[in-house]
Structure 1
Amino acid sequence: MVQITESALPGVLEIQPKVFRDERGYFFESFRLDWLIPHGITHDWVQDNQSFSQKGTVRGLHFQHAPYAQAKLVRVIQGKVLDVAVDLRKGSPSYGKSYAAVLDADRNNLLYIPTGFAHGFSVLEDAIFAYKCSEYYHQASEGGIKWDDPQLAIDWQVEHPIISAKDETWPSLKEFTETSGGGL
């Protein structure tokens, strides 16, 4: 039986599927829509993405603006990451707050991140990261928040982060809030 836990941020769910192990290896269902329907989640998932990242990499914090805003269902296939969601929903009582969960291939856990959140992760062990998206990637709708914004104070749990040039250029949460009219 799957175990679904509501995080401290409304709408962000951690999912722990039942894993069946024996001498041959293991089996588990990595996705079932009927897990999510009781939580009001009925997306038509339209895109699957996969990446490999070496230990110490930080990717994020990313989002897409409406009408291309993406909900994501994320997991690791190999390795371990610290997965982070930041609430950017306009008027949300948890606006600007973050939630972090360790996604671990040994646990096979997943995180559901609704639209209106920035998303990122740091790589604690070399990792293959996979996720479903509720909308297609749309470059002109891409946005982000600076990964090391002191206002967010996210402990990425890596000593010497490897960051893309683009991820170094995103605005702070304060700058985003001022230019976006208060959020997504």
Structure 2
Amino acid sequence: MEIIKTKFEGIYLIKTNFFKDFRGVFNKVFNYNIFKKSGLNSEFKEFFYSISQKNVIRGMHFQVPPYEHEKLVFVSNGCIIDVVVDIRKNSENFGKFFAIRLCSEENLAIYISKGFAHGFLSLEDNTIVNYLTTSIYSKEHDFGIKWNSFRYNWSVKNPIVSERDNSFPELKEFDSPF
């Protein structure tokens, strides 16, 4: 397993231990000791997943303090474009995005620190996206910014977006607590 820094402080790519043979696939996505040695918060409190059809956009989600969290994201079926936006007020990258393709047949996951909004575009039907978070879900602290308010080109003509995700404020209207 390898932890790879990106140009965004707080976003890391995790090159996982991925093994494929005639039986199928084995993929180790998380190792407590490696994460801890790399300085990443490895005290995950919840694990959940979503299943999405092609052209679904989910995002851009985060939890505000005191329930903010780090998040480890990987795909166990299908493929996505994973998008992360820096919403840390004092960051030189505030409002900028990081995007990467994550697919089940590859050995890559993403670790997202506090102060980032997260979302994705599903590229295939029945795509399963898995999340580990370092805090418990809190409905009162669950928030987001509008998925199309930060200049990312999602490259999809008719995205499928929930009413909730469409109702979030635009990035320029969001007063970030980070």
TM interval, shorter chain, is: over 0.9
How many residues align? The count is 177
String of CA shifts for 1:88-135, please: whole Å, max 9, x gaps.
Answer: 112111111110111100103110000111010110112011110111
Are 2:62 and 1:63 equivalent residues in the alignment? Answer: yes
What is the SS of the residue equivalent to 1:125?
coil
1:2-81 map, 5 Å? 2-81=1-80
Shift in Å at residue 74 of structure 1? 0.3
In the aligned structure 2, how far is the partner of 1:129 from the partner of 1:59? Answer: 11
Task: Tell me if the contact between 1:44 and 1:134 (Cα under 8 Å) persists in the aligned partners.
Answer: yes
Q: Which residue of 2 aligns with 1:129?
A: 129
Task: Quote the Cα distance in structure 2 between the aligned partners of 1:21 and 1:167.
Answer: 36
Q: Deviations over 1:23-52 (max 9, x none)?
A: 222322121122322331133100001110
1:158 is aligned with what amino acid? V
Aligned position for 2:115 = 116
Of residues 48-57 and 15-24 in structure 1, the stretch that sits farther from structure 2 once superposed is 15-24
Match 1:164 to one of 138, 162, 165:
162
After superposition, give the CA deviation of every residue in 1:7-37 in whole Å (9 maximum; x if it has no partner): 2211101112132222222322121122322
Percent of aligned pairs with the same residue?
A: 38
- Name the SS of the counterpart of 1:14 in structure 2: strand
SS in 2 for 1:120: strand
The one-letter code of the counterpart of 1:14 is L
Residues 122, 157 of structure 1: 8 Å contact kept: no
1:183 CA drift (Å): 4.5
Please identify which structure carries the higher strand content.
Answer: 2
Within 5 Å, give how 1:167-178 maps onto structure 2: 167-176=165-174
Gaps of 5+ in 1: none
Poorly superposed stretches of 4+, deviation over 4 Å: none
3-state SS, counterpart of residue 28 of structure 2: coil
SS at match of 1:50: strand
Aligned residue identity for 2:138:
H
| SS of corresponding position for 2:61 | strand
Report the AA paired with residue 118 of structure 1.
A
User: In 2, Cα distance between the equivalents of 1:39 and 1:155?
Assistant: 32
